[in-house]
Amino acid sequence: MTALLDTLEGTLGGWGTTLLVGFVALAGLITVNAMFMVWFERKVAGWVQGRLGPMEHGPQGTLQTLLDVVKLLGKESIIPAQVDRKVFLLAPVVAFLPALAMLSLLPYDNNLTMTDVESGLLLVFAFGGVSLMGIFMGAWSSNNKFALLGGMRAVSQNIAYELPLLLSAMAVVLCAGSLNLGEIVAAQTGENGLWFIVMQPVALGIYLIAATAETNRAPFDIPEAESELVAGFHTEYTGMGFAVFFLAEYTYMFIVCGIGATLFLGGGDGPLLPGPVWFILKVYFLLFLMVMARWTYPRLRFDQLMNLAWKFLIPLSLINLLATAAVLKFVEVGS
């Protein structure tokens, strides 16, 4: 392994090696995560409803998703006649590509991050806007009423929930004193480090709600509300295009939970086990919460969704931010 890395470094240089190894690792992470999450989600859905979930292929049905993927790849990709061809084909790619960049920013361990950016936290949220464009491109180019309505809802929902998401993250940034994800983790570890879930429980709550809404997950899944909009923005997508949107959704879930684990749960901090394992465990704990929320709460109506964001979450996160700033100032003055 080391020999291989040395050869790589000889030919590509240090930066190229990081890029190559990182992208291979991330591609693996994306696929494995999506396959695991689909299985896990179906399993939890079954268990919550007193069923067993997938059982047929592999122990406890673990190979079910693999077979689903094979089936999906074999499906015919239908491009409807009246769509805007170029935009239609580009949309899934635009929706998915930012995920790769965002994943490369996550701190999987103290020093295990592919690109260490000074304001990594903001960059993650900035790329979110790009993927939103992808969703809307798909919605608009489909030339379908349901898709367009779904796209509209996705856009307005994302605008509304980006604010509380950022504001709750900002409260943590104030505590950590940095926008760098690695430094935020570092602020929670060490001698008298405390996970920010202790100092910022309100921010964690806001963050989880807003993150669920940002990823268009139930109970905020009105952009693809099956009962009203067929499948929302990806109504017209089949085969691979659909698969890429699907993959993007699960990757974004991983990303928001990864950020959540970094901000509130101390990233790779934990006893006994190595850092990356702790990080993955925390991420999947948050993902489990998201899945549970999906099978527990009914979907919000659109006006309820907007009211929740604008009238409740944003004021609350502003108050939280102000209170955090005030407390920090007092502590600073006091000491």
Partner 1 sequence: MSQDSTNSAVPVPGRSVRPTGFGGAVRFMVRSMLTLFVGLKVTLKKLMGRKVTEQYPHEKPVMSGAFRSAIALVSFDDLNGTHDCIACDACELICPSYCITVRGDRLPDSKKKRATEFLVDFSTCSLCGLCLAVCPTETLKYSSGYDDAGYNRGWIHNLLEPYADDPEAPELLALLTARDEAKRAARKAARAAKEAPAAKPAPEAETTPANPAPEGSDG
Partner 2 sequence: MVDLAFGFLIVVSLAGAVMAVALKKVFHNLIGFGLAILGSAGVTVILGAEFVALMQLLIFLGGIAIAMVFAVMMSTPREQDEEDRSPGRVLGAVGIGSGFMVVVGFLMLSGVFPAAGPQDDALFSAQHLGLLLLSDYALPFEAISLLLLAAILGSVIVARRSREDDDLPTEGVEGV
Q: Name which of 67 and 123 has its Cβ closer to partner 2.
A: 123
DSSP string of 82-138, one letter each residue? TS-HHHHHHHHHHHHHHHHHHHTTS-SSSS--SS--TTHHHHHHHHHHHHHHHHHHH
Q: Which of 2, 11, 82, 227 binds partner 2 (CB under 8 A)?
A: 82
Nearest to 101 by CA among 60, 74, 130, 72: 130
DSSP string of 287-307, one letter each residue? HHHHHHHHHHSPPPPHHHHHH
- Determine the straight-line distance between the first and last CA of the chain, rounded to whole angstroms: 50
- Residue 96: count of CB within 10 angstroms of its CB: 21
Q: Which of residues 160-219 bind partner 1 (CB under 8 A)?
A: none
292 contacts which partner out of partner 1, partner 2, none, CB within 5 to 8 A by kind?
A: partner 1
127 contacts which partner out of partner 1, partner 2, none, CB within 5 to 8 A by kind?
A: partner 2
Per 3-state DSSP, the chain is made up of helix, strand and coil in percentages (nearest 5) of 75, 0, 25
Q: Which of 73, 292, 319, 322 binds partner 1 (CB under 8 A)?
A: 292
Q: Which of residues 120-149 bind partner 2 (CB under 8 A)?
A: 122-123, 125-130, 132-133, 136-137, 140-141, 143, 148
Q: Cα(245)–Cα(266) distance, rounded to whole angstroms?
A: 30
Q: Which of residues 81-120 bind partner 1 (CB under 8 A)?
A: none
Measured from the CB of residue 94, what is the shortest distance to partner 2 in angstroms? 9
Please name the helix (run of DSSP H) or strand (run of DSSP E) that holds residue 260, with its range, or none: helix 239-264
Q: Cα(312)–Cα(316) distance, rounded to whole angstroms?
A: 6
Residue range at the interface with partner 2 (CB under 8 A); choices 202-210, 229-237, 308-316, 323-331: 308-316
Contacts of 83 (CB under 8 A, 6+ apart): 141, 142, 143, 236
322 contacts which partner out of partner 2, partner 1, none, CB within 5 to 8 A by kind?
A: none
The answer to whether the beta carbons of residues 185 and 268 sit under 8 Å apart is yes
Q: Which of 77, 312, 315, 323 binds partner 2 (CB under 8 A)?
A: 312
Token digits of residue 169: 């993250």
Kindly state whether residue 56 participates in binding partner 2, applying the rule CB under 8 A.
no
| CA triple 121-133-292, angle to 5 deg | 65
Q: Which of 44, 112, 152, 174 binds partner 2 (CB under 8 A)?
A: 152
Give residue for tokens 């409260």: 171
Q: Name which of 46 and 276 has its Cβ closer to partner 1.
A: 46
Q: Which of 7, 49, 77, 119 binds partner 1 (CB under 8 A)?
A: 49
Entry field: residues in the chain: 335
Measured from the CB of residue 269, what is the shortest distance to partner 2 in angstroms? 24
Kindly state whether residue 87 participates in binding partner 2, applying the rule CB under 8 A.
yes
105 contacts which partner out of partner 1, partner 2, none, CB within 5 to 8 A by kind?
A: none
Residues of the shown chain interacting with partner 1 in the complex, contacts defined by CB under 8 A: 44, 46-52, 55, 292-293, 295-297, 312
Residues of the shown chain interacting with partner 2 in the complex, contacts defined by CB under 8 A: 82, 84, 87, 117-119, 122-123, 125-130, 132-133, 136-137, 140-141, 143, 148, 151-152, 155-156, 158-159, 162, 177, 179, 300-301, 303-308, 311-312
